[in-house]
Amino acid sequence: MEDLSEQLILLGVRPTTPETDYGWIQAGVLIKKSGRARLYQVQSFIEKPSGLKAENLLDKGGLGNTMILVGKITTFWNLGWLFLHQLMQKFRAFQAVIGSKWEHSMLEHICLDLPVCNLSECLLQKIPEHITVLKMTNALWSDWGQPRRIYETLQAIGKHSNFPSGRFKEKYSKSPNTHLC
């Protein structure tokens, strides 16, 4: 059995439609199973694919990237130094003043000057060999990055929307990219 102690574990979910505005995971070989849980090596990440690519991923069993990651803090820290060096230098500067009278002002200064980074593009796509994916089953999941998804989730669980008007339903329920998993 492969040692997974230094791996990051990412929750993946099976989408029901070919979404183009979030990340996808292509799972590789099965590396561990326990009961109904299955861990797969990540083969690759695809961030915001085209419509045709998303359809292909859906047909081939691709998983939606929930961005829910679990791992040892030392694993995150070490991978950060390998691939997010500029960001980690900011963290190191802050680490040096934690507990001092400069902590608050340093945190404000760092936050104003943080480099912009999409975690999937800046890190996850570069390290699939360090990530295993746990495929979620029998779960309702939705990326609430768009208002229509909140409305669709409420519908799926049989709840009434308390949004201000029927315009919300008209505006957001007709989208061709329904995304409930």
Q: What is the pLDDT of residues 16-31, one digit of tens each?
A: 889 888 889 999 999 9
Q: What is the pLDDT of residues 105-139, one digit of tens each?
A: 999 988 888 878 888 888 998 999 999 999 998 88
CATH superfamily of 8-84+118-141: Spore Coat Polysaccharide Biosynthesis Protein SpsA; Chain A (3.90.550.10)
What is the rounded distance in angstroms from the CA atom of residue 133 to the CA atom of residue 131?
A: 7
Average pLDDT (41-59) is 93
Given pLDDT bands bounded at 50, 70 and 90, which one contains residue 164?
Answer: low
Q: Token pair for residue 140?
A: 């309702």
Given pLDDT bands bounded at 50, 70 and 90, which one contains residue 1?
Answer: very low
Domain boundaries of the chain, sorted by first residue: 8-84+118-141, 144-176
Inter-CA distances, 157 with 45, 87, 135, 151, Å: 30, 40, 22, 10
Report whether pLDDT(86) > 80. Answer: yes
Q: Token pair for residue 163?
A: 């949004």
Given pLDDT bands bounded at 50, 70 and 90, which one contains residue 180?
Answer: very low
